[in-house]
Structure 1
Amino acid sequence: MSAATRRRVVVTGIGAVTPLGNDAPQTWTSLLAGRSGVREITTFDASTFPVRIAGQVTGFDVKAAIPDRRHRRYLSRGAGYGVAAAVEALQQAGALAGTDPYRRGVSVGGTVGRVGLQELADMSWQLESTGHASIYRQSPAEVLTRDQNVAPAVIAEIGDLRGPFIAVSTACAGSAHAIGEAYRRIEEGDADLMLAGGHDALTTWMDVLGFALLGALTTDDADQPGRACKPFDARRNGFVLGEGAVMAVLEEREHALARNAPILAELAGYASSLNAYRITDSPPDGGGAISAMRDAVAASGVGPDGVDYIVAHGTGTPGNDASETVAIKEVFGAHAYDLLVSSPKSMAGHLTSAAAGLNLLAALGAIEHGVVPPTINLAQPDPKLDLDYVPGAARRRDVRAVLVNAFAFGGTNACFVVTAHTRSD
């Protein structure tokens, strides 16, 4: 699509339920203050586990956030966060009365549901005790709770969103792909408004044990959880699992102006790629992250030198942080040293499918308030990682354009550019 015919996309609402707060303003305040939401795990007894900490949501009341019992009946823990964040985003975006519901859609990233280990154990016991395979019966409610489509379906019902319906599961890039594909639907004319983001809650004993056995999680600072996640630090040795949801309302610019919606920023470019390298490791040469970043910046029209801030994927694993730094230098050249780069995961942990949504929230806050959230726990710089990662404390900066990065298990990459919006554009 040519620049002349391209439809512009703006952000008119944002909602969040994260380890840093149960709404978007609380989450932003915690990000700005460098306040950690990593704490001892409470979703199960982790006392005998090699990893006993996670970024966990606290004080969240699903009944208060989603009053209608019908809407929360089949929601999993993570899906509850997602619906609550969506309601907040829709409320900020304002009344949609008079707009066409068939031009409004939903695009959500989340982990595909699966049978829990306890259920597998029950199946195994039944097989051994009966001596033959038999059907393990489950109620429809149990099956629906694990269905990835339930949260976006509930969101669609609440918002009367009858247009495009997208549910993606691309691990740690899930919300980036969901936001990017929603952006494309609006840009190409398939929708005027899309509710987009991600949710996840991989704080179960199966998920923690699985990631721990992979060697992906840090075992440091179990007695001081807030210090555990150390992106870009020389001592980094793994990430911290988190949970939560961030949802945004994306809207065609003229559509938003016509209904006098609050415009928070503009989504100006999106691109994705695949490393085709290894399932769990980032390529040392930057791999497909380079093309995703470069293409997103090119699509935005701001140019590499026009980007002020990068919200990094920044997990705290040795390979990811090194690979991302190499990619940034390759894409931005000498300008890489003028950029500010920071990682919200240092405070919230890794929200997996919701991680890029949190990065979007950081980008919006930086543009609105002219201040970049820090990377906390960066006390011992790695000489090979020599960019400005905003260590320790937030930094004042006039931010006009932000690149959001998301890189996932399986080697999938998704990046998008967020820019300041002015009504005179």
Structure 2
Amino acid sequence: MSGDRRRVVVTGIGAVTPLGNDAAATWKSLAAGRSGVRAITTFDASTFPVRIAGQVTDFDVTAAVPDRRHRRYLSRGAGYGVGAAVEALAQAGPMDGTDPYRRGVSVGGTVGRVGLQQLADMSWLLESTNHSRIYRQSPAEVLERDQNVAPAVMAEIGECRGPFVSVSTACAGAAHALGEAYLRIQDGDADVMLAGGYDALTTWMDVLGFALLGALTEDAPDQPERACKPFDARRDGFVLGEGAVMAVLEEREHALARGATVLGEIAGYASSMNAYRITDSPPDGGGAINAMRDALGDAAMAPEQIDYVAAHGTGTPGNDASETVAIESVFGPWAERLSVSSPKSMAGHLTSAAAGLNLVAALGALDEQLVPPTVNLDHPDPALRLDYVPGEARSRPVRAALVNAFAFGGTNASFVVTGPGDRPSAEVPR
């Protein structure tokens, strides 16, 4: 890292998650070890093998996004995303006098697809008319599935006329979106980027698909808050979640010049590909090692400068073991001094928004010097030997955090987050 490289700070954060409908409430739940996993209400799951999810509750999109024009074509997940973006922009403060062509948007989300009812209607029409008629969709139906609608609305609300990035890399979507925003600012293409991710896969089709794949836990249907068990010896799958986290990233001098409050700094970022299997994590850590190691290299930081890892930590047997091996490989002896925890243990897997939730955890840990816990870790796996902060949050010095996101398809992303002050020194704390 060159000494004159543009530094990228966080000046706003917004969240709509199973843990709360704003960033402060989400962090408060994380710190308290409070679960947002509950019985599914988006459809009748009574006959399903999986009947629980991390669900957003009591979110009023009309209050979060007052202008009807901005809400018109938003899907449920996109509404979460725009709501989180509005919060992040409000916290970042007025951009009066700054160049809108130097402000951009970078968002991770799931590519939209036809719903089950529409599929049934299409099938009925084709069969009943002997394939003589075409099912015609309204423009609204098409736009609600368009991945670029929510980012476009965010850009309009924030008057962001600069770089536009829309990515769909599954569970690493928010990490890639934040990383690409960081690079745009670092490279001088923008001064401000609204970045993060949103998703809402708590649908009939998604729950069934992941259940048939064997990826979801079927445990604790009557105690949903006990179901997600990252790093526990009994872990047997993840819990689907939904929500959004958006952040305002800004060039540091630009932020200071307009009097913005700096919440933290994105100090380094890297991504990689496993090229292994679509659904399985490599037992040797695979590309996760490269993502973490290269993120530290991009930040010009030694492993000993990291105190907390906001882990991907899904609760599947393979992922948790692979991530542990990767952390041990990258951090060496220092791995024993790290605190590692999984926000998914409380919120479920927010898929494209997952790394955004980890960013909330990292910023909260840096601000309060408090590491959020991994809940439901009651039976330690003897093969996993790191400190996963079981059960309760822990006070400890946190100079810098590493955020991980690993996705189906084998794509990985990691980024380093530091506090709002000077970069931490490499001196090892006693």
Q: What TM-score results when the alignment is normalised by the length of structure 2?
A: 0.97
Residue correspondence of structure 1 range 266-415 to structure 2 within 5 A: 266-415=265-414
Which 5+ residue runs of structure 2 have no aligned equivalent? 425-430
Residue correspondence of structure 1 range 24-423 to structure 2 within 5 A: 24-422=23-421
Decide whether aligned partners of structure 1 residues 420 and 121 sit closer, same or farther in structure 2, where only a CA change above 3 A counts.
Answer: same
Where does structure 1 differ by over 3 angstroms across 4 or more consecutive aligned residues? none
For residues 363 and 301 of structure 2, what CA distance do their matches in structure 1 show? 17
How many Å apart are 1:301 and its aligned residue?
1.6
1:81-117 deviation digits (Å, cap 9, x = unpaired): 0001001001111110000000000000000000112
For residues 139 and 114 of structure 1, what CA distance do their matches in structure 2 show? 14
For residues 206 and 120 of structure 1, what CA distance do their matches in structure 2 show? 11
Residue identity opposite 1:351 in structure 2: L
Residue identity opposite 1:135 in structure 2: I
For residues 28 and 257 of structure 1, what CA distance do their matches in structure 2 show? 25
For residues 124 and 79 of structure 2, what CA distance do their matches in structure 1 show? 32
How many Å apart are 1:154 and its aligned residue?
0.3
For residues 405 and 311 of structure 1, what CA distance do their matches in structure 2 show? 6
CA contact (8 A) 2:105 2:160 kept: yes
How many Å apart are 1:423 and its aligned residue?
6.6
Higher mean C-alpha displacement, 364-373 vs 127-136 = 127-136
1:283-308 deviation digits (Å, cap 9, x = unpaired): 00000000000000111122111100
Residue identity opposite 2:359 in structure 1: L
How many Å apart are 1:134 and its aligned residue?
3.0
For residues 302 and 316 of structure 2, what CA distance do their matches in structure 1 show? 29
1:196-223 deviation digits (Å, cap 9, x = unpaired): 0000000010000000000000000000
Higher mean C-alpha displacement, 128-137 vs 146-155 = 128-137
For the aligned residues, what is the CA RMSD?
1.0
How many Å apart are 1:373 and its aligned residue?
0.2
For residues 398 and 337 of structure 2, what CA distance do their matches in structure 1 show? 12
3-state DSSP of counterpart to 2:105: strand
Partner residue of 2:19? 20
How many Å apart are 1:131 and its aligned residue?
1.3
Residue identity opposite 2:286 in structure 1: G
1:115-164 deviation digits (Å, cap 9, x = unpaired): 11221222121121111253210100000000000111000000100000
3-state DSSP of counterpart to 2:358: helix
1:170-209 deviation digits (Å, cap 9, x = unpaired): 0000000000000000000000000000000000100000
How many Å apart are 1:5 and its aligned residue?
3.4
CA contact (8 A) 2:200 2:242 kept: yes
How many Å apart are 1:333 and its aligned residue?
0.4
Residue identity opposite 1:234 in structure 2: A
Count of aligned positions: 424
3-state DSSP of counterpart to 2:179: helix
3-state DSSP of counterpart to 1:413: strand
Residue identity opposite 2:301 in structure 1: V
For residues 362 and 277 of structure 1, what CA distance do their matches in structure 2 show? 29
How many Å apart are 1:385 and its aligned residue?
0.5
CA contact (8 A) 2:199 2:350 kept: yes
For residues 391 and 415 of structure 2, what CA distance do their matches in structure 1 show? 26
1:5-48 deviation digits (Å, cap 9, x = unpaired): 31000000100000000000100000000000000000000000
3-state DSSP of counterpart to 1:67: coil
Higher mean C-alpha displacement, 130-139 vs 156-165 = 130-139
Same amino acid, percent of matched pairs: 79
3-state DSSP of counterpart to 1:302: coil
Residue identity opposite 1:303 in structure 2: A
3-state DSSP of counterpart to 1:15: strand
Partner residue of 2:428? none
How many Å apart are 1:78 and its aligned residue?
0.3
Decide whether aligned partners of structure 1 residues 423 and 4 sit closer, same or farther in structure 2, where only a CA change above 3 A counts.
Answer: closer
3-state DSSP of counterpart to 2:414: strand
For residues 245 and 221 of structure 1, what CA distance do their matches in structure 2 show? 26
Which 5+ residue runs of structure 1 have no aligned equivalent? none
For residues 232 and 297 of structure 1, what CA distance do their matches in structure 2 show? 24
For residues 328 and 126 of structure 1, what CA distance do their matches in structure 2 show? 53
Q: What TM-score results when the alignment is normalised by the length of structure 1?
A: 0.99
